[in-house]
């Protein structure tokens, strides 16, 4: 993606790289010490698109924000707390979510229907509204790098690093910037996108087309990662497009439509990979590319089966070139395969051909597997379908983090 | 099941409790020290039924044994090695599997088509045939408890305990015994039954009806457990019925048909629970019962989603009453639910009602969760479907075992 001529990755990449956005993050008291309240604001109401968890149990903030995305179809601000998911909190939880939206709108002096909200953290505990509301009063969005850093910190839970990216592209000979920030870590099995992701752009585009673009790229980015197979109750990705780049309105027939899609795709893919790499307890990013499947969809299904396998994940943690677990995960993926016509590469080393073992140097693969990013390639020879998925290794730290999460 | 009057659990339960079976296990050299070769023999050819992994990648021994089950429809002996799965070993693997069958038949002086074979262990390595064939020559089946113990040890891989059970029931006023032995531990996500299970009975029953009975109980026993969500390439459950109890041939219209089904069900359920409890690295058995689902199938799907969730599993390991993860797993199971009409119990403590948190004593639940078997009940109030699934906690030891499996 980085090689596309008309697009460049922005070095000082952050959520306010596009024109007309401000951000801030503070500590309000839902967590012990770390930042736990974040606000992103656009100078003007922005076109908005969103994708939400497919879990049948959905947290209160999702109802509130879906209303903004699907009914208002414009968003000017989004406020996020970490430390409490406001999920499975019943009527009180819904009331609290609406209050969070209302107080943010009042504080900013904008219409309540233009404010999105998101929450992440423990499920099943009522929100502490006193510190939350006091915190909202203190939010002063900044157009500086500092504000953006605070924002990206305040949305984290067990994440160990902040996740930012941005790309610039040319549309109508104007520079349009697309930037994104995300949190991930645990309960990551996006069937949409089990995480929080916020993407900003100064592109001029109606919500309808923005929604279509987001949906199209979600399957091959956020929906192609897994940390632990647990689909969360709270996750969403929002895109706000405030039009301040001044391009002609983007539609699929605009000559630069593909440039915009490429930038949006690159931002989403970067965030997805950063989430996978920073999965709870992870030491490594695992990428699996599948080619020759009967369809792209099946290729992604197989790739996700491999990166999601606890046995593959622990083998990668142990730097063990145990390809038997890779082929077993291909086998139980449910996709169409011919066991006698499979090639598997670990890095660039062929380890299986026609379903039979190929001798390889364990020492060389050990060196390869000690790297922070490992790649498997599975060639099926059944068709032209291709797909890639990303995951992470399964480590002692994953167990430690999740055995003691509430304590 | 134990309360059914006509059936009793056998105290000194083992695979040769039914009349006319002998067993033995030895060390032949596929593993360093432990027993790795096992043989079970019936005095006379037995009716046979089998269920096999649904993984599209299937090990060579499965082809060989399926031939016996589906074509011969009789089995007199089954030989099993541990230490090498003979999976993904191509043409050489198939040749080796047939040799293993042939040499066992010659050693016992019976028809090759009456011999089943099974392998478990590392995937993708060719079988060391020299020690295997020398081992087969040494196999002397015993009708003593000792032989049965050796057998149950020799089929293990990372299992920490042997798994035996047996029940006696009355059919035509004769005692009929059904006994079972299994190995499990890792790569357990039965979509059939990802494990090895061997069930013997002296009941008189044709293969056709035995196969139907086995299929019927598999869904609610072996297919209702999970250790790590990885469906193996090698797994099978075989039932051998040698008829030596002398009852009239069992068919679904036999007055004692249900008694036989009950005994078979009890054996399969015991083995399934033992496998779940002895999952790799596990310290606890997790049972989840779901009631009020729209169907039994959906109830089992939800129950499996809960016991399979890495976040539920780590919480149980940490003795954390984190019911939010239970309800999240219910939500992403894909089954029909109403989030506002769910009750969840941890043990007998109600923690969620109408989708809202119910205050409970963390201390009391901590004591409950420190036990070796923990039970969750999920009431959905959507219909009359019921189902139960079993799993185990996810621990540091699971990671340790699987990060270093081949080394």
Residue finishing a domain among A275, A303, A328: A275
| Beta sheet of A349-353, edge-to-edge order | A356-357, A349-353, A343-346, A373-379, A285-293, A385-392
Residue B129 domain flag:
yes
Residue finishing a domain among A253, A275, A297: A275
Handedness of CA B223, A378, B394, A159 (dihedral sign): negative
Phi, psi of A47 (to 5 degrees): -60, 150
- Phi-psi label, residue A259: left if phi above 0, alpha if psi -120 to 50, beta otherwise: alpha
Q: Same structural domain for residues B215 and B317?
A: no
pLDDT of residue A195: 73
Q: Same structural domain for residues B347 and B250?
A: no
A229, B309: Cβ pair inside 8 Å?
yes
pLDDT at B134 over 60: yes
Q: Same structural domain for residues A88 and A164?
A: yes
Which CATH number fits the domain that encloses residue B115? 3.60.70.12
Summarised one tens digit per residue, pLDDT across range B166-194 is 888 889 888 899 988 888 765 555 433 34
A395 is catalytic: no
Whether the CB-CB separation of B22 and B12 falls below 8 Å is answered with: no
Q: Same structural domain for residues B269 and B293?
A: no
pLDDT of residue A331: 85
Q: Same structural domain for residues A133 and A237?
A: yes
| Residue A340 CB contacts under 8 Å (≥ 6 apart), including other chains | A354, A355, B90
- Top pLDDT among A223 and A314 is at A314
Residue A280 domain flag:
no
The most confident of the ranges A253-257, A307-311, A333-337, B107-111 is B107-111
pLDDT of residue B319: 92
* Mean pLDDT across chain B: 88
Mutation target to probe the B interface, by most B beta carbons within 10 A, among A310, A322, A370 is: A310
A57, B228: Cβ pair inside 8 Å?
no
B307 to chain A: nearest residue by CA? A230
Q: Same structural domain for residues A329 and A216?
A: no
Q: Same structural domain for residues A52 and A165?
A: yes
Residue A221 domain flag:
yes
pLDDT tier at B146, thresholds 50, 70, 90:
very high
pLDDT at B378 over 50: yes
Annotation-wise, does B194 bind a ligand? yes
Summarised one tens digit per residue, pLDDT across range B229-273 is 666 677 787 889 999 999 999 999 999 999 998 889 888 888 888
Q: Same structural domain for residues B316 and B205?
A: no
Residue B317 domain flag:
yes
Whether the CB-CB separation of A23 and B304 falls below 8 Å is answered with: no
Radius of gyration of chain A (CA): 21
Burial of B140 (0-12, 13-18, 19+ CB in 10 A): exposed
Q: Same structural domain for residues A227 and A307?
A: no
Q: Same structural domain for residues B269 and B295?
A: no
| Residue A258 CB contacts under 8 Å (≥ 6 apart), including other chains | none
Mutation target to probe the B interface, by most B beta carbons within 10 A, among A157, A290, A331, A343 is: A331
- All residues of chain B having their beta carbon less than 8 Å from the beta carbon of residue A405 are 315, 318, 320, 322
B123, A309: Cβ pair inside 8 Å?
no
Residue A78 domain flag:
yes
Q: Choose among B88, B230, B395: nearest Cβ to A355.
A: B88
Total domains, chain B: 2
Q: Same structural domain for residues A240 and A331?
A: no
- Distance from C-alpha of B297 to C-alpha of B224, rounded to nearest angstrom: 10
Residue finishing a domain among B276, B308, B342: B276
Residue B74 domain flag:
yes
The token pair that represents B248 in the structure block: 């009239």
pLDDT at B200 over 80: yes
* Mean pLDDT across chain A: 88
Residue B1 domain flag:
no
> Annotated catalytic residue: which of A194, A218, A221, A388?
A194
Which CATH number fits the domain that encloses residue B364? 3.10.20.340
- B361: domain range? 285-403
Residue B2 domain flag:
no
Q: Same structural domain for residues B264 and B398?
A: no
């Amino acid at each position: 993606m980085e090689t596309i001529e008309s697009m460049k990755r922005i070095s000082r990449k952050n959520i306010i790289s596009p024109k007309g956005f401000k951000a801030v993050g503070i500590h309000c008291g839902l967590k012990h010490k770390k930042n736990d309240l974040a606000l992103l604001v656009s100078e003007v109401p922005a076109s908005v698109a969103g994708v939400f968890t497919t879990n049948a149990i959905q947290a209160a903030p999702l109802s509130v924000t879906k209303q903004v995305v699907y009914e208002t179809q414009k968003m000017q601000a989004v406020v996020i707390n970490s430390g409490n998911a406001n999920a499975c909190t019943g009527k009180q939880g819904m009331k609290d979510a609406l209050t969070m939206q209302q107080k943010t709108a009042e504080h900013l002096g904008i219409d309540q229907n233009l404010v999105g909200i998101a929450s992440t953290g423990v499920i099943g505990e009522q929100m502490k509204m006193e510190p939350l509301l006091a915190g909202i009063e203190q939010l002063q969005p900044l157009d500086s790098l500092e504000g953006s850093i605070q924002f990206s910190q305040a949305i984290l839970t067990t994440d160990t690093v902040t996740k930012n990216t941005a790309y610039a592209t040319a549309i109508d000979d104007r520079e349009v910037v697309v930037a994104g920030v995300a949190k991930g870590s645990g309960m990551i099995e996006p069937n949409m996108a089990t995480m929080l992701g916020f993407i900003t752009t100064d592109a001029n585009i109606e919500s309808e087309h923005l929604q279509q673009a987001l949906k199209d790229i979600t399957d091959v980015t956020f929906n192609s990662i897994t940390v632990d197979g647990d689909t969360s109750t709270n996750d969403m990705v929002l895109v706000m497009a405030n039009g301040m780049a001044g391009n002609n309105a983007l539609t699929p027939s605009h000559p630069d439509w593909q440039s915009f899609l490429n930038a949006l795709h690159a931002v989403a893919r970067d965030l997805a990979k950063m989430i996978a790499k920073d999965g709870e307890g992870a030491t490594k990013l695992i990428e699996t590319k599948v080619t020759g499947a009967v369809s792209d969809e099946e290729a992604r299904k197989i790739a996700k089966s491999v990166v999601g396998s606890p046995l593959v994940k622990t083998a990668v943690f142990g730097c063990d070139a145990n390809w038997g677990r890779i082929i077993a995960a291909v086998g139980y993926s449910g996709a169409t395969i011919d066991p006698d016509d499979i090639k598997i590469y670990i890095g660039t080393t062929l380890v299986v051909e026609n379903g039979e073992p190929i001798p390889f140097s364990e020492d060389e693969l050990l060196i390869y597997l000690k790297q922070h990013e490992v790649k498997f390639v599975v060639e099926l020879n059944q068709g032209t379908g291709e797909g890639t998925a990303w995951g992470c290794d399964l480590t002692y730290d994953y167990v430690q983090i999740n055995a003691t999460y509430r304590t």
